[in-house]
């Protein structure tokens, strides 16, 4: 794998710019906050699936948590591809949308696990 400093991107001039440009500090902060909130809520959901309403856990709760985790794996792959530069910047909105859907799924799962609305 070659170094960034030696890449020419098919031109005679060496170019050390990232493929899609620099990310701003605002974008990095948004990525960190959204990632932290999603990870935290996902962790709470997985723990709640095994602990609530009582031990041993209900199989439906485990199934719900596994489905959420499996949907997170595809988003994790998209994030890795985006950070490597394999995806265009317009896919960032798709990643945010999918993370928002995961947040809603985690909220619904936690409400179900804790018996809210019964």
User: 23-32, 60-69, 72-81, 106-115: which range is least confident on average?
Assistant: 23-32
In the predicted model, is pLDDT for residue 43 greater than 90? yes
| Residue 65: burial class (beta carbons within 10 Å; 0-12, 13-18, 19+) | buried
Res 33: pLDDT: 87
CA angle (113 as vertex; 36, 61 as ends), nearest 5: 90
Res 92: pLDDT: 85
In the predicted model, is pLDDT for residue 9 greater than 70? no
Contact 20, 88 (CB under 8 A): yes
Contacts of 65 (CB under 8 A, 6+ apart): 45, 46, 49, 50, 109
Identify the band that residue 101 occupies on the pLDDT scale cut at 50, 70 and 90. very high
Res 7: pLDDT: 55
In the predicted model, is pLDDT for residue 68 greater than 70? yes
**Which two tokens mark 103?**
């947040």
């Amino acid at each position: 794998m070659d170094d960034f400093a030696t890449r020419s991107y098919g031109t005679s001039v060496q170019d050390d710019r990232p493929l899609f440009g620099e990310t701003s500090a605002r974008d990095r902060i948004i990525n960190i906050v959204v990632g932290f909130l999603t990870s935290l809520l996902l962790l709470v959901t997985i723990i709640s699936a095994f602990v609530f309403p009582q031990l041993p856990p209900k199989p439906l709760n485990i199934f719900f948590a596994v489905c959420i985790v499996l949907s997170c794996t595809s988003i994790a792959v998209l994030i890795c591809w985006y950070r490597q530069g394999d995806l265009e910047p317009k896919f960032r909105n798709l990643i945010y949308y999918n993370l928002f859907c995961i947040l809603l799924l985690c909220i619904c799962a936690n409400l179900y696990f804790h018996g809210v609305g019964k």
